[in-house]
Structure 1
Amino acid sequence: MDWSKSKSIFIVVFLILDVFLYSLFLNRHTESQLVQNESWGERNIEDRLKDDNITYGMLPTNIVKAAYISGKAKNFEDEELSLENAEDIKIDKNKLVVTLEEPFEIKNLDEETSYNEFLKLNVYNGTSYTLWQIDKENRNATFFQTMNSRILYYIKNGSVTVHWNDQNEIIRYEQTLLEDLEANEEEKTLTTPLNAITLLYNKGLLESNSKITQVNLGYSTLLQLQQVLVPTWEIRVETENEEVKEYFVNAVEGVILNLVDDASTADEEGDTTLDNNEIDLETELEKSRE
């Protein structure tokens, strides 16, 4: 046996083994540092929130992934509507305007349960909506459509607005509806609620001495596509002056959304969709990335 050759082979093998072990050590060390940095980052934001007396309760921890959803705007002209207590029905393609024959009394304008019976008895697919906002000054209340108990925030084609008289009786309502709602097969990993709160804080949107009262997951319009919806964190904040503010964060991309202004712009410009045909979700998502 050639001892010098064997010695050289052993040296090469041990060098390879040393390199492998060193690379393994570096990987473990890097992972450890990343975990430590993430935990320090969370502690830092918690400390900063505490310093500014910004409080929040239990945050959702069981919602890690969710899918985009798609559908189409309901064309009420295609439906033979039979609505009880309807004196007059006006249909403008995707919008339904109904005047009641007999006004419907609301016993308590501040409670959602007071409206539920009206929605169930008088509104087409009325149980698909949940109360969002009450405007006593203008005598109306807005309801947003839901899918699997998740709210579709400020979707032009998914809301009901009821109007009442000075005797707290509903006399008229307008309705739009998204139908054939389907979830995309591929689920996306979501940014955490704490990360969404951190984003708002770093943008200076959370005032000192405020309280985060709600953190919920729903859906909102993806870019200007009226029929493709993205998972969205809703964060409600009560300020020191008891003013309630609502913020929305794209739960996939981790960016702040201005849904109220976007909805107002859409109302002024009209529906930007080309027709009521179902949109191919993957195609539209690919367009949005370009």
Structure 2
Amino acid sequence: MQWSQIKTLFILCFLVLDVYLLFQFFDKQSQSNIGVLERQDSPIEEQLESEDIKINSLPEKVSDESFLSVKPKSFSTDDLKKVEGFKNQEPLSVDKNFIISEFEDPVPISPGDSEEKIEETVKKSIIYPKEYTFWDWNKDLNVLFFFQEKKERPIYFNQNGMVLVFLNDDNEMIYYTQTMLGDAEPRAEKKTLIKPIKAIETLYKANTLNAGDEITKVNIGFHTRVPLANGVQVFVPTWKVTVNEEKNYFVNAIEGFVFSSDENSFISDVLTEYVKGIRQLKGDQKVKGSILNQLEKKLEIIHRGEEDDVSV
């Protein structure tokens, strides 16, 4: 009888303990959920500060913009004559949408030159120089990138509106390619752009930013949105967010999604198209073969880098 009572007492004690622990569990779970909600609802500035993500500066004025509708430009006979008239240049061949020209005597570019000096040197050698802005010196491929501008803003990574300047091992310009977009027309009504801080928040929520990063620059430009079947391309205003002065991310400034920013993939596609096009061009076979050989070597560098990334 006594053992039965003791056993019952133990059971009741354990039951009370279980109930107590259950209440403790639910209370901690509730507090945890509240913490998550508070963290999610806190301003993006506070979330960035908590992870020591700094913002250098942001554009103060954000204007309304519309999509742009643009067709590739066809170079005129006069355009082609201007290219052929440049001193120290020998066009391999040109057609209505694509120019490739070789420098008879390589033109030096110093690694210590400022962007302004590089622009000045290159723009002396191309037609419509004011249409382009310097983007980058890709040191792995030793190629200078210039993007065409519309409405005084760069069009990011569009192979129909860019100049690529190829350098030799002594950092001398040996040849360049040029494509160009025609007149831009607004497509539909203007729309309100998302604020730069919203673009940064989009990258943060996509786990693109890491603790300790610095947002060094935020600029507005255009990015390809929809290529249409008739050759017309539609460009959308796009925020370029530069992180740690080296990595660029692109956020649609109207719809708020992140564009792919795989520069090597873009370059690979462009050079592949150039190789196909140059093989069909008429001209000096020796020069043509030399340029093709150099382009194919640069494609090998890109593909080798991609294989190394996969192996890692």
TM-score for both structures, normalised by structure 2: 0.66
Give the Cα separation in 1 of the matches to 2:269 and 2:227: 9
Give the Cα separation in 2 of the matches to 1:65 and 1:41: 29
**Structure-1 residue corresponding to 2:256:** 254
Amino acid at match of 1:118: T
Structure 1 residue runs without a partner (length 5+): 1-39, 272-290
What SS class does the counterpart of residue 63 from structure 1 fall into?
coil
Change (3 A) 1:201 1:207: same
Change (3 A) 1:183 1:93: same
Which of 217, 232, 256 is the aligned partner of 2:238? 232
Change (3 A) 1:244 1:120: closer
Amino acid at match of 1:56: I
Contact 1:154 1:260 in 2 (8 A): no
Give the Cα separation in 1 of the matches to 2:163 and 2:90: 18
1:67-78 alignment runs, 5 A limit: 67-76=66-75
Amino acid at match of 1:228: V
TM-superposed deviation, 1:244: 2.3
**Structure-2 residue corresponding to 1:201:** 204
**Structure-2 residue corresponding to 1:62:** 61
Identity rate, percent = 34
CA-to-aligned-CA distance 1:150-179 (integer Å, 9 cap, x gap): 110001111111012233221100111112
Contact 2:252 2:259 in 1 (8 A): yes
**Structure-1 residue corresponding to 2:81:** 81
TM-superposed deviation, 1:223: 3.0
What SS class does the counterpart of residue 162 from structure 1 fall into?
strand
CA-to-aligned-CA distance 1:105-151 (integer Å, 9 cap, x gap): 22345521222223332111122111111122322111111123211
Give the Cα separation in 2 of the matches to 1:69 and 1:244: 28
Is 1:162 matched with 2:165? Answer: yes
TM-superposed deviation, 1:96: 1.1
Q: CA RMSD in A?
A: 2.6
TM-superposed deviation, 1:185: 6.4
TM-superposed deviation, 1:206: 0.3
Give the Cα separation in 2 of the matches to 1:63 and 1:209: 27
What SS class does the counterpart of residue 60 from structure 1 fall into?
coil
TM-superposed deviation, 1:207: 0.4
Give the Cα separation in 2 of the matches to 1:259 and 1:168: 26
Of the two, which has the highest radius of gyration? 2
Is 1:53 matched with 2:55? Answer: no
Contact 1:135 1:141 in 2 (8 A): yes
CA-to-aligned-CA distance 1:75-117 (integer Å, 9 cap, x gap): 2365433221222332254221110123222234552122222
TM-superposed deviation, 1:265: 8.0
What SS class does the counterpart of residue 124 from structure 1 fall into?
coil
Contact 2:241 2:249 in 1 (8 A): yes
Contact 1:76 1:91 in 2 (8 A): no
Give the Cα separation in 2 of the matches to 1:116 and 1:190: 30
Is 1:116 matched with 2:122? Answer: no
Structure 2 residue runs without a partner (length 5+): 1-38, 275-312
Q: Aligned residues, how many? A: 228
TM-score for both structures, normalised by structure 1: 0.70
1:139-218 alignment runs, 5 A limit: 139-184=142-187, 186-218=189-221
TM-superposed deviation, 1:266: 5.6
TM-superposed deviation, 1:64: 3.0
Change (3 A) 1:236 1:163: same
Is 1:128 matched with 2:131? Answer: yes
TM-superposed deviation, 1:213: 0.5
Report which of the two has the higher share of helix: 2
